[in-house]
Structure 1
C-alpha cells in the first residue's frame, strides 16, 4: 500500500481523530487540502492535479462523473460497504449502485437563528426574508447558488430545481431584496453565529447541531414551504496517485465505530445503519438531524438541469453575487 493520501474536503468536515487513527493503523501520511465550498471543489478538480479522495455533494458526483473525473470503485476492496443502509447502497439518483461514490453524511438545508437575539419564532422562508430586514447586517447565506436560489424558489411555491423564466424572475427580485441586508455570502458561517456577529443564517442542519454542542443557542428550522435534502459522498479521483490507499481509507470510514465518530463530530445524519446504535438517544431522536416523515415529504434533492436551465441560474447567481 502507498504511504501517502491526499484528501480534498471542506472546512471542519472531518474529525482530526479520524485522520490520526487512519495514519496510525495504516502507516499512512494524510495530506488535507481545504476548499471553502462545493463550487470551488469542482473547480479544483477541473484545474488539477487531482487529490486521492474528495467529498463532493450528490450533484457534484453527477458532474464530475460525467466528465470522467471519478474512479470506478472496486467493491472487493470495500468489505464494509454492507454496513450502509440499503437506500444508500442502491437506488440513489446520482449514483444508483455506489459505482463511484459512497455516502458520508446526509442532511437538510434550512435556516438557523440565535434564539437569545431573535425573539420571533420563524417557521418559513417568508419569515426568513422578513427577519432579514429587521436584523439587517447580521444575516448570512451560503455561498452556494443551488441552496440560495432554491430557497427563493421554494418560498414562491416553485420546485427547488425550477429553471423557468417566471420562477427565476421572482427569485431574482426576492434575492436582490435580501442581498441588501446580508452580512456575507459564506459557507463557513459558524464562527459568525458563534461570536454573535450574525444572528440569522441560511445553512445546514449539522452546523446548527455543532453550534448547539458548543453551547451556542441556535435554533434550526426546516421551512414550512419545503427545502433541500442532500447527500455528501466520499469518492476517489479518476487519476488518483494512491488508489489502493484511497480504497483503504473509504473502507476505514465505513467502519461503524469510525462513522459514529464522524457523525458525532459533524452533527449530520449517517447512512451507516450499524452506526445509529452507537449514537446517543438525543442524537437519534433529534428531528433536526433525522427529520420525521412529514418533513421529509417536503424536501427535494438537487437534480441535474439542462444546459439552458443551468445558464439561466448561473446568470442569476452572477447578478446576485456581483
Structure 2
C-alpha cells in the first residue's frame, strides 16, 4: 500500500511511531551545503525512511521548479519572502501539526514574526536563519587596501575605488537579484523592497561602476574559493562564510576568513521547510520535519553548517564558538539594523530581474 493511502490511517494517531513508514522514501530539495549527511543517516536509522537529497543555490531556481508543477519533492526549503508568494500561488499543502509533536521546541517569538509570510504558521516550519553580508580574507584585503579597509561597510564592495584594488585578489557576488539588489538599494538610502523602477536604475548605475572588478557572480563557487584563498571577498550568506573558514582550518592551508554584517544594515532571512501540494509522500515529509525539530539534531546541523537555528530548546547545544559569534547570532543592536524582504508585485519582480541582468552583463 502506498504511503499516500496510509495517511488517512495514521493522521489521527499522533503517537504512532514513524517506523511504520519504514518501506518509504522522502525526497528533499534544499540549499547546497545545508543538509549534513549525518542528519540524513540519523533520520533513516531512526525512522527507516530513506531520504534522497537534491540541492539548489538560489530561491529563483527553487521557485521555477515549484511553480512548474509536479516537482516530485516531499520537502522543499524556500526563504520567507519567496514562501509568501508561493503559498499564495497554492504551491504548498497545509501542515498536519498532529504529526509534528516537536513544534513546541521552536522560538515562539520568531514564529510570531514568521506569521507575516505564513499567517497562522499553517504551511511552513523554520529551518535556519541568517544574514547577507561580507566574507573576506583579512590578510589579502589588508594587503591591497591597508589596515583601514572598511570591512564592516557596504562601501568595501560598492565603492569603485575599493573594488578596483580588490580585483587584484578577487571579489565574488551571489548570483541572485533578491540577494544582492536589496542591499544595494539600502546602501543608497532607498527602500530595499522598492517597487520603483527609478530606484533600480540607481542601483544599476552604482553597480555598473563596480561590475568590471567583480570576478564572478555565482551562488556556490565562492565557498571553496574563499576557503582556498582563490578570492579575497564574497558578498554572501553568513553561514556559508563561516563554513569557508571552517574548511580552511580543516585544510590547515593558512587561510583565515571572517564575516561582517555591514554597519549600514543588511538583509535577514529565514529558510522554511514546506511540503509541496503534490508531494508524493506527505507523511514521510512530516516525519522528516519533525526529526529536524529535535534539539540535538538541529543543534548539530547548526554546528556543521554555521547557521543559527530557530529552535529555542537547541540553543544551549550549539557550540559556544558559534552561538557567541555576532555574525551568526547578531546582538540586539545589530538586529535593529537588519531588514526583511517582502514579496514584490510581479511587475516589480520583472524590473528587479532586468536590473540584475543589466548589472551582470555590463550593459
Shared fold per TM-score greater than 0.5: yes
- Aligned pairs for 1:218-229 (under 5 A) are 218-229=257-268
**Cα displacement string for residues 126-161 of structure 1 (whole angstroms, at most 9, x for unaligned residues):** 122233221216110011101211121121111211
Counterpart among 321, 325, 338 of residue 299 in structure 1: 338
- Aligned pairs for 1:277-292 (under 5 A) are 277-292=316-331
Most deviating of 12-21 and 88-97: 88-97
CA distance in structure 1 between the aligned counterparts of 2:236 and 2:332, rounded to whole angstroms: 21
Shift of 1:217: 0.9
Show the counterpart of 1:164: 196
Q: How many residues end up aligned between the 2 structures?
A: 322
CA distance in structure 1 between the aligned counterparts of 2:72 and 2:86, rounded to whole angstroms: 12
**Cα displacement string for residues 220-244 of structure 1 (whole angstroms, at most 9, x for unaligned residues):** 1111211101000111111110011
- Aligned pairs for 1:52-71 (under 5 A) are 52-71=74-93
CA contact (8 A) 2:293 2:311 kept: yes
Across the aligned residues of Structure 1 and Structure 2, the Cα RMSD in angstroms comes to 1.5
SS in 1 for 2:121: coil
CA distance in structure 2 between the aligned counterparts of 1:49 and 1:278, rounded to whole angstroms: 35
Shift of 1:249: 0.6
Show the counterpart of 2:212: 180
Within the alignment, does 1:100 sit opposite 2:123 as a pair? Answer: yes
**Cα displacement string for residues 27-50 of structure 1 (whole angstroms, at most 9, x for unaligned residues):** 111111122221111111223333
CA contact (8 A) 1:160 1:227 kept: no
TM-score (norm 1): 0.96
Shift of 1:317: 1.5
Within the alignment, does 1:28 sit opposite 2:61 as a pair? Answer: no
SS in 1 for 2:317: coil
Larger radius of gyration: 2
**Cα displacement string for residues 63-99 of structure 1 (whole angstroms, at most 9, x for unaligned residues):** 2211111110001110000100012333411113221
CA distance in structure 2 between the aligned counterparts of 1:36 and 1:86, rounded to whole angstroms: 29
Show the counterpart of 1:261: 300
Show the counterpart of 1:202: 235
CA distance in structure 1 between the aligned counterparts of 2:71 and 2:158, rounded to whole angstroms: 41
Show the counterpart of 1:88: 110
CA distance in structure 1 between the aligned counterparts of 2:204 and 2:181, rounded to whole angstroms: 8
Show the counterpart of 2:276: 237
CA distance in structure 1 between the aligned counterparts of 2:48 and 2:151, rounded to whole angstroms: 50
SS in 2 for 1:237: coil
Show the counterpart of 1:136: 167
CA distance in structure 1 between the aligned counterparts of 2:179 and 2:274, rounded to whole angstroms: 22
Most deviating of 296-305 and 309-318: 309-318
Most deviating of 40-49 and 289-298: 40-49
Show the counterpart of 1:116: 139
Counterpart among 223, 226, 229 of residue 190 in structure 1: 223
TM-score (norm 2): 0.85
Within the alignment, does 1:38 sit opposite 2:45 as a pair? Answer: no
CA contact (8 A) 2:295 2:313 kept: yes
CA distance in structure 1 between the aligned counterparts of 2:198 and 2:111, rounded to whole angstroms: 38
Shift of 1:60: 1.7
Counterpart among 7, 12, 28 of residue 7 in structure 1: 28
